[in-house]
Structure 1
């Protein structure tokens, strides 16, 4: 399980990290948050869904596995098998996170590190800090995360517009063992056809309309993902996902007190 702790000299002054060489950190993720600019790259490779978390917040995600907490886009060596890797996975072990309620400002984001990551420890290629400041490489990662945060915020806002327009509906998916995959939503095209012109204009202006249509189109990738889950759930060391999806060119636990 991931455990994210804010970067500080007290916790990370003597620790190091290594840039990941595979995606083992994505192994338990059957849902991966994505940004609106990534939709065109992913809609032709994976089903996209609107996922509701325990607090009721809805986000746009790529469905990467048909069993909860299992990622079918990885082979047995933890290699990502599709041509595009979501940005959310490419900044590990770092993440920008909001502090818990009562700590920090409402819109504040803190650079955190997954201390349970296999790429973090006493040994590693890179230091986290130089003196009491983040190293140049960590600062570069922070800048990338800051740009991502803006795109994620706009994407979440578009999801909220879709919810307010009441054009999403439950998507009752089950894995190949009949177990439900909870919290999934999809576009209801029947409801969309009945919205007022004013609501339609709002959906278009926010980018929510294009995002919703892309999600609907991406559902055609479900059969391919289901085939992978059924065939290689126990051991998919030799899966070649290009043969399933078609050739592609390569182009939590939150701890603030420890």
Structure 2
């Protein structure tokens, strides 16, 4: 049974089906928080506010794409372009993702496809799911390797965050310098950080968690920018309803020019 349009990629269902590479980020327009992994932390912190959230008893770092789940992100243009300098890896996977198999070994991941995105077709001009031998096609094997690598990195990232959690370094973060953050946001307690004992600091260092702490601290400076961007995007949308030639503001379009179109393809984590 499909959940939210997700189906397991099986030979019986997809032997004669095909898939298209996505060309628009419209699917992410209403995503306000985006999970990231350790390898992405420097690039993420350079482009977005980076905070933390708790999910399934784990804490993970997330990029803030919108200051409210009710407001679309300003990082997606009206025609589906990504307007920031870095695209989080989880947004480079559509229409595929992986889910843990409950009926198999603990490390077994099931490849899933989201049919709601309109990227599954019956046309041979697109990428096949399977080859004649019943194996995944070469391109789909690349996708699966990418997803597995990302999942492995996500687990390592959660372990690093567990070190911060065990040291009591997370606290609720309702806002920063007058800018309200989405509910459930966590931040680093820098007062507690400064009070760590020498053995605790060594634990933090050995776990490789300092990068997360410093990146989070520096990235909060983007909140003011994001607040302005959302207001400008909302203003542009209002004008667009009444004028024919209006587009996203120059403030955001300048970022779009720096976005390499090749990054829309599934790449490295």
RMSD of aligned Cα (Å): 2.8
Task: Give the distance between the partners of 1:38 and 1:215, measured in 2 at CA.
Answer: 12
Task: Give the distance between the partners of 2:163 and 2:209, measured in 1 at CA.
Answer: 7
TM-score under structure 1 normalisation?
A: 0.85
Contact 1:59 1:156 in 2 (8 A): yes
**Which residue, 223, 248, 255 being the options, matches 1:238?**
248
CA positional deviation for 1:244: 7.8
Number of equivalent positions? 246
Task: Give the distance between the partners of 2:154 and 2:90, measured in 1 at CA.
Answer: 10
Contact 1:81 1:240 in 2 (8 A): no
Q: Which residue of 2 aligns with 1:106?
A: 106
Gaps of 5+ in 2: 241-246, 264-269
Q: Which has the higher contact order (CA 8 A, sep 6+)?
A: 1
Q: Which residue of 2 aligns with 1:163?
A: 165
Following superposition of structure 1 onto structure 2, how do residues 16-27 of structure 1 map, counting pairs within 5 Å? 16-27=18-29
Gaps of 5+ in 1: 252-258
| 1:122-177 CA distance string (max 9 Å, x none) | 34611111232110100011112222222211111111111111111111149x99
**Which residue, 49, 74, 77 being the options, matches 1:75?**
77
Task: Give the distance between the partners of 2:50 and 2:179, measured in 1 at CA.
Answer: 21
Q: Which residue of 1 aligns with 2:243?
A: none
SS of 1:51's equivalent in the other structure is: strand
TM-score under structure 2 normalisation?
A: 0.81
Task: Give the distance between the partners of 1:48 and 1:126, measured in 2 at CA.
Answer: 35
Distance 1:42 1:8, change over 3 A: same
Q: Which residue of 2 aligns with 1:139?
A: 141
CA positional deviation for 1:79: 0.6
SS of 1:19's equivalent in the other structure is: coil
Distance 1:246 1:139, change over 3 A: closer
Task: Give the distance between the partners of 2:179 and 2:150, measured in 1 at CA.
Answer: 36
Distance 1:139 1:195, change over 3 A: same
**Structure whose CA Rg is larger:** 2
Distance 1:195 1:242, change over 3 A: same
Task: Give the distance between the partners of 1:3 and 1:165, measured in 2 at CA.
Answer: 40
Contact 2:83 2:255 in 1 (8 A): no
